[in-house]
Amino acid sequence: NQSVDTAPARLLVVIPVYNHSRTLRDVAQRALAVHPDVLVVDDGSTDGGAATLQGLPVQLLRHERNLGKGQAILTAAREAQRLGMTHLATIDSDGQHDPADLKNFLPLLRDEPQALVVGKRRGFGKESMAPHSLPLCLIGAGLLWAGWFGFNAGSALSASPLATLAFLNTTT
């Protein structure tokens, strides 16, 4: 016999931000137009983004230095728990997510309260989404490939049949 929680869902919309002062206020305003509980977690920004929120009814938490988006979301989760919230919805501060799309997720809080729902970026599959820095992207891909090859080949330094087999399985 499984008990069902009948308490209403309490959603906190979270906007993690790191140096997106140009778009932050617009994203926060559009999030507020859909839902009243908005938390911005400034992950050590140096571009004055938090100041652009002046006069908006958003809650603001700030990391003294950049700790990464994952830590910003964990900070938001702790704050949501402290506030008695039951759910989080994160929206990127760069404007890639349309806060109006939140209305599509709200019924899921009621119908599937234990579900993890992941949306996709606007234009995904329709528009080209070029990497921020192609050279860094290529370097990263090369490092990942070399690391994966080394892992699969058992980090063998010599060319052996086993290393060759690992190479072929990794690249085909």
At 31-87, the pLDDT tens digits run 999 999 999 999 999 999 999 999 999 999 999 999 999 999 999 999 999 999 988
Please say if the pLDDT value at position 3 is more than 60: no
Sheet holding 87-90, edge to edge: 59-63, 38-43, 11-17, 87-90
Higher pLDDT, 171 or 53: 53
69-72, long-range: CB < 8 A, 24+ apart: 69/16, 69/18, 69/43, 71/43, 72/16, 72/17, 72/18, 72/41, 72/43
Please say if the pLDDT value at position 125 is more than 80: no
Dihedral pair phi/psi, residue 62, rounded to 5°: -135, 135
Residue type, 133: S
At 142-151, the pLDDT tens digits run 777 666 555 5
Higher pLDDT, 15 or 155: 15
Dihedral pair phi/psi, residue 89, rounded to 5°: -130, 125
Higher pLDDT, 171 or 160: 160
Q: What is residue 43's predicted lDDT score, i.e. its pLDDT?
A: 95
Q: What is residue 34's predicted lDDT score, i.e. its pLDDT?
A: 94
Q: How confident is the model at residue 1 (pLDDT cuts 50, 70, 90)?
A: very low
Please say if the pLDDT value at position 19 is more than 50: yes
Q: What is residue 124's predicted lDDT score, i.e. its pLDDT?
A: 63
Higher pLDDT, 160 or 92: 92
